Amino acid sequence: MELRQLRYFVAVAEELHFGRAARRLHMAQPPLSQAIKQLESELGATLLARTSRRVELTDAGRLLLDEARRTLAQADRAATTARLAAQGATGWLRLAFVASAACDILPSLLPAQRAAAPDVSLQLRELTTERQIDALDRDEVDLGIAREVEAREGLVITPLRDEPLVAALPADHPQAARAALALRELADEPFVMTPRRAVPRLHDTILALCRAAGFSPRVVQEALQFPTILSLVSAGVGAAIVPAPVAAFRSDGVAYVPLSDRDAQSAVAFVHRADHEGAVLRSVLDRALTTLAAPPQA
């Protein structure tokens, strides 16, 4: 029994007239009649009682009509699902992100993604760049929003933007009201930084900037999470260098001052495995690049 036969049968059963059913199916009546006879022969049951005046469903025909409608509806749903999946419009994606992406990247990307592809489910995980790379290797995530990613074989890196780095200072700091400052002006300050063992790339970027400015930062406290770093800054423990979007946390007692140093920025990129790029991943990535085209302001 083929789906074509079921469609023919449903048309005749609903019209109760071979001529009207044939017109509805855009075919001639004789092959339609032959197809119904073949279906009855295959099933070993009479489905339609035919007289010179009318066509009526038998008990077997009425039962088959209900099942045929369900079968055809399910087949249509399956075909639609397959088409949408091929377009990246349905399915799921495991998306990892660095903490700062929760400040401005995800709030922009997620509503746009839901509006454009509501049947795509995003499974979100906050991971440092290093843990994202490990998770990609173990096939635990599909796509990452990472910071300062190093190129390597088997990894596809799609640059998103260079985010300005800013100085986070206690609100009562003498430099807190500045429109901008050079990093060298913070040479004598105590610093709060992320630990290198957990976030080596951002840590090394900030360290290199300080050294280029002529000093090595005096680190008095380490903290992994940006809210913790900002709380320590607010408490007067020290200054911190953070990506500009972190200012969205709006911690009381913290002032954010742009840095005038030319290289005071941090690269954010999407990353995925070269051997793992399906339609959903590509559609999410393309939409993200379009949605997030504008760079954040320092």
Give the contacts of 30 (CB within 8 A, at least 6 positions apart).
none
Task: Enter the tokens of residue 113.
Answer: 């993604």
CA distances from 54 to 13, 15, 17, 35, 252 (A): 12, 11, 7, 19, 83
Would you kindly state where each structural domain of the chain is located, as residue ranges?
3-86, 92-160+269-291, 162-266
Give the contacts of 93 (CB within 8 A, at least 6 positions apart).
120, 121, 122, 123, 142, 143, 280, 281, 284
**pLDDT of res. 295:** 62
pLDDT > 70 fraction of the chain, expressed in percent and rounded: 97
pLDDT band at 50 (very low <50, low <70, confident <90, very high): confident
Fold for the domain defined by 162-266: D-Maltodextrin-Binding Protein; domain 2 (3.40.190)
d(CA 218, CA 188): 8
More confident residue, 81 or 127: 127
Phi, psi of 278 (to 5 degrees): -90, 180
pLDDT digits (tens, 9 = 90+) for 149-196: 989 999 999 999 999 999 999 999 999 999 999 999 999 999 999 999
Q: What is the mean pLDDT of residues 268-279?
A: 92
d(CA 43, CA 115): 47
92-160+269-291 and 162-266: identical CATH topology: yes
294 has pLDDT over 80: no
Average pLDDT over the chain reads 91
pLDDT digits (tens, 9 = 90+) for 201-223: 899 999 999 999 999 999 999 99
Q: What is the mean pLDDT of residues 228-246?
A: 95
CA–chain centroid gap for 124, Å, is 8
Task: Give the residue among 130, 140, 131, 143 at the shortest CA–CA distance from 96.
Answer: 143
Task: Give the residue among 167, 169, 270, 147 at the shortest CA–CA distance from 210.
Answer: 167
pLDDT digits (tens, 9 = 90+) for 21-47: 999 999 999 999 999 999 999 999 999
The number of beta carbons lying within 10 Å of the beta carbon of residue 139 is 11
d(CA 192, CA 263): 20
Fold for the domain defined by 3-86: Arc Repressor Mutant, subunit A (1.10.10)
Q: Which residues pair with 272 in a beta bridge?
A: 156
More confident residue, 255 or 116: 255
Q: What residue has token string 């010179």?
A: 52
d(CA 191, CA 175): 15
d(CA 75, CA 4): 11
d(CA 198, CA 224): 7
pLDDT digits (tens, 9 = 90+) for 67-103: 999 999 998 888 877 776 766 667 889 999 999 999 8
d(CA 32, CA 20): 11
d(CA 235, CA 254): 9
198 has pLDDT over 70: yes
Fold for the domain defined by 92-160+269-291: D-Maltodextrin-Binding Protein; domain 2 (3.40.190)
DSSP string, 181-249: B-GGGGTTSEEEE--TTT-HHHHHHHHHHHHHTT---EEEEE-SSHHHHHHHHHTTS-BEEEEGGGGGG
DSSP string, 38-103: HHHHHHTS--EEE-SS-EEE-HHHHHHHHHHHHHHHHHHHHHHHHHHHHTTSEEEEEEEE-TTHHH
**pLDDT of res. 87:** 62
